[in-house]
Amino acid sequence: MPKESFTQQPNIENKKIAPPIEIQNEDELSEKIETRKDYFGKERYTNVFDAGSAARKIGITSQTSYVLFYKEDPLLPASPESFYREKFPGWNVFLGKSFYETWAESVEAAKRIGIKTWDDYKKLKHLDLKLRTNPYKYYKDFSSKDFLLKKDFYETWAESVEAAKRVGIKTWDDYRDPLCRNKDKRLRSNPEQYYKDFIRAKNTFSNKRRDSLEE
């Protein structure tokens, strides 16, 4: 077999229609796939989304697995980022990944698979492919302080107050004291940052609430 010559750069704009391929349950691929030659004269998918669909069809789910298995489809380029340039939509879109729309949804999903802390999340997020690796870059509602996996906090300040009373908290100093507050792990250390119904009053933890609010 003669060796390939690389002395002359092929015309990368040269396009043709590849022979029909069998498609099963893949709406994004057409019956005839348009291809064009890469720098070395090899036929590749012209449309980046055709390439992504083909990659998913052979079981590729990540950038790492793409590098390992893209050769199973001879029309896939070695580096789709370089081949499609500005048309490359990013690996997540390219491989058809979808993620939870909000951080709150992510937290609830993490709970369902047994994640209880932020450290757990970083170690076990792969158990749910819809959990992002770096959620702080994508979610406006992200807060590691409000991760809600370490504890199931009370939903309202009114519930928190009643719970605090049950464990013997009678003043704000009691509440601010971790030894007192931690008698109930569902009490937040900084409730003013989380509860819309939060009110700081002198008699918050009193059974008789007749005093005026603290200034």
Pairing of strands 34-37, 43-45: antiparallel
pLDDT digits (tens, 9 = 90+) for 136-167: 888 887 876 655 444 568 889 999 999 999 99
Pairing of strands 15-17, 34-37: antiparallel
Q: Name, of 8-17, 118-127, 138-147, 164-173, the range with top average pLDDT.
A: 164-173
Contact 103, 142 (CB under 8 A): yes
Contact 178, 208 (CB under 8 A): no
Contact 104, 110 (CB under 8 A): no
> Which of 117, 103, 177 lies closest to 152 in space, CA to CA?
117
Q: Which amino acid is at 32?
A: K
Mean per-residue pLDDT of the chain: 76
Token readout for 156 is 């309202």
Cα gap 14→24, rounded to integer Å: 29
Q: Is the pTM of this model over 0.85?
A: no
